[in-house]
Amino acid sequence: MTIKEIAQMAGVSSTAVSRYLNGGSLSQEKRAAIAAVIRQTGYRPAAAAQALRSKVTDYVGVIVPKISSDAVSRVTVGITQVLSEEGYLCLLANTDNDPERELDYLSLFESRSVAGIILMATVLTPRHEDAIRACSVPLVIAGQQCEGVPCVYHDDFNAARELTQRLIQRGRRRLAYIGVTEQDVAVGQRRRQGVRAALTQAGLEADIPTRLSPFTVEGGRSAMEALLAEYPDLDGVMCATDLIAMGAMEALRTAGKRLPEEVSVAGIDDSWAGVHVSPKLSTAHFYYETCGAEAARMLLSLTGQSRTEQPVRQTMMGYTVVERESI
């Protein structure tokens, strides 16, 4: 009799059985189900020690770029809710957008034999891709698409394309774009490509005035000030994120522009702060919490299996355009 068989009979995960045998926290319902199976089968907990000699723990490493980010926190909520229900504990590693620290944490978690790793990456360098593919424990990426690796990501291209179309439908023709580094494939490349696609489809010039910004309100404000200094007659601004858009709106108001009468602005992320600015920000809602939950479920499906036992799953999440007052 193995832990896996006990888990199947009790209708719980193998990790839940391990936690029961080691005195870990577990819901009363799962504890009762496991206890009943152990009584029924005569399973001796001492035998569990042999099954645990693989040194795999019931911890999951979760690597995030910026825990203070609204989007990141929502993804994290989804991850932890699903994993905690299955008896896993999350080890949260905040990298402050430092790619080197992401690599360090990948190595650290792998060496500690965690049950799995969820990586919320912003930049996937060749070194990242090598480390991810060589990782000996189950790993899922959240927020980026990486060929040959299980991942859950967003439809960044079409969200940016549809919002840009909304600006064009409002009669905006002198458009600008504030993006982020294109080392970030999802936010930096896919969203800019979506903007360009909308312009091309409308028969407009795709090479519009563009500035790059950090993922901050201050960065958006500075980028907008630079654009206005060179293109004072802009009538529409598409921004890669809501925080950047809110900074752009500050700069436009300071310059005496009326929003949205003279200039329309849109962002992406549906940040909680978007409804507290004036005018309220039009944006695209990404299902971040659902993304985290899906990444966690994907990881659970990989635990205890080799990577060759099943095809690589990749899931693209949907989005909803939220049109408010800013366009």
In the chain, what percentage of residues exceed pLDDT 90?
Answer: 76
- Three-class secondary structure assignment of the chain: CCHHHHHHHHCCCHHHHHHHHCCCCCCHHHHHHHHHHHHHHCCCHHHHHHHCCCCCCCEEEEEECCCCCHHHHHHHHHHHHHHHHCCCEEEEEECCCCHHHHHHHHHHHHHCCCCEEEECCCCCCHHHHHHHHHCCCCEEEECCCCCCCCEEEECHHHHHHHHHHHHHHCCCCCEEEEECCCCCHHHHHHHHHHHHHHHHHCCCCCCCCEEECCCCHHHHHHHHHHHHHHCCCCCEEEECCHHHHHHHHHHHHHCCCCCCCCCEEECCECCHHHHCCCCCCEEEEECHHHHHHHHHHHHHHHCCCCCCCCCCCEEEECEEEECCCCC
Q: pLDDT tier at 56 (50, 70, 90 boundaries)?
A: low
Counted domains in the chain: 3
Does some domain include residue 312?
yes
Does some domain include residue 212?
yes
Does some domain include residue 323?
no
Mean pLDDT of 148-162: 97
- pLDDT for position 310: 63
Domain CATH number, residue 36: 1.10.260
Mean pLDDT of 265-275: 96
Say if residue 304's pLDDT is above 70: no
In the chain, what percentage of residues exceed pLDDT 70?
Answer: 92
Does some domain include residue 207?
yes
Cβ atoms 121, 97 nearer than 8 A: no
Mean pLDDT of 286-294: 97
Domain CATH number, residue 170: 3.40.50.2300
Q: Which residues form the domain of 26?
A: 3-51
- pLDDT for position 26: 78
Mean pLDDT of 200-209: 97
229 in the same domain as 184: yes
180 in the same domain as 148: no
Does some domain include residue 238?
yes
272 in the same domain as 301: no
- pLDDT for position 262: 98
Tell me: the pLDDT tens digits for 1-30?
778 888 899 999 888 887 777 666 778 888
Does some domain include residue 322?
no
Say if residue 52's pLDDT is above 70: no
274 in the same domain as 176: yes
Say if residue 87's pLDDT is above 90: no
Mean pLDDT of 42-66: 66
Does some domain include residue 127?
yes
Say if residue 39's pLDDT is above 70: yes
Tell me: the pLDDT tens digits for 312-324?
899 999 999 999 9
Does some domain include residue 219?
yes
68 in the same domain as 173: no
Say if residue 182's pLDDT is above 90: yes
165 in the same domain as 122: no
Of 88, 87, 7, 86, whose CA–CA distance to 43 is shortest? 7
150 in the same domain as 161: no
84 in the same domain as 67: yes
161 in the same domain as 277: yes
311 in the same domain as 165: no
160 in the same domain as 150: no
Say if residue 223's pLDDT is above 60: yes
Mean pLDDT of 222-248: 98
209 in the same domain as 98: no
